[in-house]
Amino acid sequence: MIKLPKNDKINYEEFEDIVEVNKGIPYFKILVGGEWVMGESFVEVKSPLTLNTIAMVSRADLELANRALEAATATKEKMKNLPGAKRIDIMENAARILADRKETMIKALISNVGKPRSEAEGEVKSTIDRLLSARYDANRIKGDLIPGEWANQNQGRIAMVEREPVGVVLAISPFNYPLFISYTKVIPGLIAGNSVILKPPSAVPIPALMMARILDEAGIPKGAYSNIVAPGDIASYLATSDQINMITFTGSTSVGLELSNISGIKKIHLELGGKASAIVTKGAKNLQKVAKSIVDGSFKFSGQRCDAINRVLAESSLAPQLVESIVNEAKKFRLNTPEESPLPIGPLIDQSSAERVKGLIDDAVARGAKLILGGKINKNYVEPTVLSDVPLTARIMWEETFGPVIPIHNYFTEDEAVEISNKSEYGLDSAVFTDDITEALRIARKIEAGEVTINAFPAHGIGFFPFGGVKQSGFGREGIGFSIDEFTNMKTIVISTAE
């Protein structure tokens, strides 16, 4: 039995200037060109926990999108010339305000996204840490002085190489980390001296809007930042505009491909789908520890993570023991409301997502996989599920799961495991479990992925290590300092010193 939350309502007093309550339902304004605007139409926002309406959020139309674009274009020179120290001060001010209002933000993440409390707390803390790390981003905005004397054709010349802001950035973020991922785009974008328009996910816009109010209060120049909730056609319209100089998008591969096709010649950064493999070799001695890491990496936030472990490739001689250990760990998780259990499997974002995951489970079983644990759904909740002996013909071995399911496939040779891992169209993350470091490094170097984690599940954290994908998982890199390379252009100024 799933326990519903005692109270999924949020006290919006700390954000009362952007919220109007009508018949018990909060109506949110959106930030357009430095002004908080109540729209003429609204997006209905439901909680994944209860499927009840928890808010109505102003929907940006073409006129509001153009207003945001015009303001961003008009202020990009102001942002470019805003002293770097001032940009850092704004981010640190925002960190202090968010820390003061963290409980309200935590409740918004629980109610609007269905996060377990521990994960909601972690997302808020990570966002604070990311704001405070802005000065490390700033340290990457440096130049070079290159003497020309080392090349005959450049005798009597020197070059200064510097980084400049790209101009106007369109940032589009996903539902699973609507606060943190949104602001891992906004923070370096602004620190680099750009104007930014953020389109957060329409299903879970509340945390991003609340954070926009915090940034506004912290002192972002009016017009340099807009936060608009809009349908896909508005995002497509903005993506095709010549006034947009860069697009940064995290989400599905299909949408990323569409953005690539329509955006024209402009910078674009894409972090798309993932299908992380966990390769467990016979060099792994502590299978209980391995199993715990695999289950945690698969079930964290109910598997709704691009870096989640999506499939386990187990060396055949240890597979029976590994399956048993994984099942024992998986049984510790319960279908429950995020605030009621230390190891909860909360809801997926909507019922259609749960039905899609159920379809992957049923397909695997129909093709010969053994259903060891779980397999059922209740509205938008999916039971923690373990499948063994999953054949390579099963869709779940290749399609991104985004749900709490662990499919296990047995392999016989290292080359076979690597081949299966690399056959995926995705290449965001992967993991290798073995106590043989030579084996681990050998396999890691063979795997086609942007990041390979050894003896732990993949987790991007606040981006202290750079991350990003290859193949259909996108291109470009994110991370503290590394994101700056994406949000800036390199300019070379050549000076003649000849007499």
Look at residue 8 and tell me if it is in a domain: no
Residue 336's pLDDT is what?
A: 72
Give the DSSP per-residue string, 301-353. Answer: GGG--TTSEEEEEEETTTHHHHHHHHHHHHTT-EE--TTT-SSEE---SSHHH
138 and 70 within one domain: yes
- One domain, residues 112 and 228: yes
425 is annotated as an active-site residue: no
Summarize pLDDT for 68-126 with one digit per residue, the tens: 999 999 999 999 999 999 999 999 999 999 999 999 999 999 999 999 888 999 999 99
Q: Do 280 and 410 have their domain in common? A: yes
Do 57 and 153 belong to one domain?
yes
The answer on 338 and 251 residing in a single domain is no
Percent of the chain with pLDDT over 90: 91
Which residues pair with residue 335 across a beta bridge? Answer: 345
pLDDT of residue 5: 53
Instruction: Confirm if 207 and 113 have CB atoms less than 8 A apart.
Output: yes
Q: For 6-20, how does the pLDDT look when each residue is reduced to its tens digit (9 = 90+)?
A: 555 677 889 999 999
Cα–Cα distance for residue pair 132/164, rounded to 1 Å? 22
Mean pLDDT of the chain: 95
Task: Determine the average pLDDT of the residues in 348-370.
Answer: 97
- The tokens of 21 are what? 């309550």
Are the CB atoms for 467 and 450 separated by under 8 Å?
A: yes
Q: How far, in Å, CA of 187 to CA of 170, rounded?
A: 13
The sign of the torsion formed by the CA atoms of 38, 42, 47, 53 equals positive
425-468: pLDDT as tens digits: 999 999 999 999 999 999 999 999 999 999 999 999 999 999 99
In a domain, 340, yes or no: yes
Mean pLDDT across the stretch 44-58?
95
* 241 and 346 part of one domain: no
Q: State the CATH number of the domain containing residue 184.
A: 3.40.605.10
CATH code of the domain containing 306: 3.40.309.10
Q: Is residue 496 part of a domain?
A: no
Q: How far apart are CA 385 and CA 403, in angstroms?
A: 9
Q: Are 261 and 424 in contact (CB under 8 A)?
A: no
35 is catalytic: no
pLDDT digits (tens, 9 = 90+) for 187-224: 999 999 999 999 999 999 999 999 999 999 999 999 99
Residue 218 pLDDT: 98
Are 293 and 429 contained in the same domain?
Answer: yes
Give the confidence band of 1 by pLDDT, cuts at 50, 70, 90.
Answer: very low
4 inside domain? no
Q: Are residues 237 and 340 in the same domain?
A: no
How many independent structural domains does the chain possess? 2
Instruction: Clarify whether residues 225 and 310 are in a common domain.
Output: no
Across 376-403, average pLDDT? 97
32 and 141 housed in the same domain: yes
Question: What's the CA gap between 307 and 284, in Å, rounded?
Answer: 22
Q: 497 in a domain, yes or no?
A: no
Among residues 391, 176, 431, which one has the least CA distance to residue 280?
A: 431
Residue of 44, 119, 258, 271 marked catalytic: 271
For residues 141-155, b (16+ Cβ closer than 10 Å) or e, as one string? Answer: beeeebebeeeeeee
Indicate which residue of 119, 306, 339, 383 is catalytic: 306
Answer positive or negative: Cα dihedral of 45, 106, 453, 412.
negative
Provide the pLDDT for residue 187.
Answer: 98
Instruction: Looking at the structure, tell me whether residues 408 and 484 fall in a common domain.
Output: no
Structure-token pair, residue 396: 């779940």
pLDDT the model gives residue 339: 55
Asked whether residue 364 is domain-assigned, the answer is: yes
In order, the DSSP letters of 195-248 are EEEEE--TTS-HHHHHHHHHHHHHTPPTTSEEE----HHHHHHHHH-TT--EEE
If one compares 266 and 4, the residue with the highest pLDDT of the two is 266
Could you give the CA distance from residue 345 to residue 189 in angstroms, rounded to a whole number?
34
Contacts 24+ apart (CB under 8 A), 231-236: 231/59, 231/202, 234/60, 234/61, 234/62, 234/65, 234/199, 235/170, 235/172, 235/199, 236/262
Domain assignment of residue 470, yes or no:
no
Report the distance separating Cα 308 and Cα 297, nearest Å.
6
Same domain, 267 and 282: no
pLDDT band at 306 (very low <50, low <70, confident <90, very high): very high
Quote the domain boundaries for residue 415: 276-461
Taking the C-alpha atoms of residue 281 and residue 159, their distance in angstroms, rounded to an integer, is 51
Residue 2 belongs to a domain: no
